[in-house]
Amino acid sequence: MFTKFIKEDTIILERLLTQLLGGDNMNKISNIEMINFFYNAMPVIEQLFDEDVSMGITDTEKYVATRYCKELELSAKEGDKIPAGGAIAEVIRTGNAAIKVVPESVYGVVMKSYAIPIKEDNKIVGVFAVAKSLAKKNEVTTITKNLTESLSQISAGINEISTGVQDLAGMNEKLLGETKVANEKAQNTDEIVNFIQSISSQTNLLGLNASIEAARAGDAGKGFSVVAQEIRKLSNSSNESIKKIDDVIKHISLAIGSINNNLSKSNDVSQNQSAALEEIAASISELNVTAKKLEELADRL
């Protein structure tokens, strides 16, 4: 089995060498041996690429052979003069291989050209060129550019949101401190209320004692009895007002306590959101770096 594979490989290799070196069926397009060599090598060279490419062979003045793929039809035909501005013209001018992005004005389509000199006796007799379409590169470049712009916009938006969240957290922190002070002051009013209640009780007791003394005085104490009744009314009225004030203060204290708790929760949420936004911003920054690398890779296509 192994021997069979070797034989088959040898036969294929012999056929390939025969094709490359000319053999009996060599189709001559030129009197120059190396140009004929590249012409017959075109089908084999085409198989070396993993994508569609177009190829051309020239002498030092004109095209002598072309092999174009459907995706990259060039305007140059066999017999056409070599146009200026392309990689082939540069190879003939410099004598060195050239890789060049050729504008649409040269061959009617934008492409990337790889050209090498064909030499005989150390003299340039022609050029072999391979052209690759830039459609995929341009598509990748466009997608990358759009991605980069979108990431920049998202990054700017997240930075703005992050700034807002941080400002909100700062305001919450300030309000939290103020509500704590207000809550402490509201609790301190209990002492004032208790003091006023004590005065009210003493006033009520004073009015009661005055009423007793006025009753003992008989007719002489009638005027004082009226005063004593007013004192007791004032005491009762003060006592009712104090109860209402106490209820209001307790409600205010409860409300302040609730605000304080909600601000604490809001502050925690703001801090968590700020941390999450920083992580998102860092991830977007990494994506932006990746997008730029992708753009650099696209330039090499």
Identify whether the C-beta of residue 197 lies closer than 8 Å to the C-beta of residue 176: no
Question: How far is CA 151 from each of CA 139, 186, 286, 297, rounded to the nearest angstrom?
Answer: 18, 51, 10, 18
Question: Assign residue 124 a region: left if phi > 0, alpha if psi is -120 to 50, beta otherwise?
Answer: beta
**Cα 207 to Cα 281: distance, rounded to the nearest angstrom:** 74
Of 88 and 196, more confident: 88
Q: What is the DSSP-derived secondary structure letter of residue 134? A: -
Which pLDDT score is estimated for 297? Answer: 67
Give 238's pLDDT tier (boundaries 50, 70, 90).
low
The 8 Å CB, 24+ separation contacts for 12-17 are: 16/44
Instruction: Give the tokens for residue 112.
Output: 């990337």
Identify whether the C-beta of residue 155 lies closer than 8 Å to the C-beta of residue 284: yes
Question: What does the pLDDT look like over 161-179, one tens digit per residue?
Answer: 777 777 777 777 777 777 7
Question: How far is CA 281 from each of CA 146, 148, 149, 162, 169, rounded to the nearest angstrom?
Answer: 18, 14, 15, 9, 18
- Could you tell me the sign of the dihedral formed by the alpha carbons of 130, 135, 139, 144, in that order? positive
Instruction: Give the tokens for residue 268.
Output: 């925690």
Name the percent of the chain lying above pLDDT 70. Answer: 71
Instruction: Give the tokens for residue 96.
Output: 């060195």
Identify whether the C-beta of residue 63 lies closer than 8 Å to the C-beta of residue 76: yes
Q: How many CB atoms lie within 10 A of CB 231?
A: 19
CATH superfamily of 1-134: PAS domain (3.30.450.20)
Of 213 and 52, more confident: 52
Question: What does the pLDDT look like over 5-47, one tens digit per residue?
Answer: 334 444 444 444 444 444 444 466 777 888 988 898 888 888 8
Identify whether the C-beta of residue 131 lies closer than 8 Å to the C-beta of residue 153: no
**Cα 197 to Cα 189: distance, rounded to the nearest angstrom:** 12
Where, residue-wise, is CATH 3.30.450.20 in the chain? 1-134
Give 140's pLDDT tier (boundaries 50, 70, 90).
confident
Which pLDDT score is estimated for 272? Answer: 74
Instruction: Give the tokens for residue 263.
Output: 């601000």
Question: What does the pLDDT look like over 92-137, one tens digit per residue?
Answer: 999 999 999 999 899 998 889 999 999 988 899 999 999 988 877 7
Question: Assign residue 95 a region: left if phi > 0, alpha if psi is -120 to 50, beta otherwise?
Answer: left
Tokens 């209402």 found at: 244
Q: What's the chain's length in residues?
A: 301
Give 237's pLDDT tier (boundaries 50, 70, 90).
low
Where, residue-wise, is CATH 1.10.287.950 in the chain? 139-299
> pTM for this structure?
0.49
Which pLDDT score is estimated for 222? Answer: 58
Q: What do you get for the CA distance between the two ends of the chain, in Å?
A: 42
Of 48 and 215, more confident: 48
Instruction: Give the tokens for residue 83.
Output: 């146009």
The class level of CATH for 139-299 reads mainly alpha
Contacts of 97 (CB under 8 A, 6+ apart): 91, 114, 115, 116, 117
Could you tell me which of 67, 41, 64 has the C-alpha nearest to residue 54?
Answer: 67
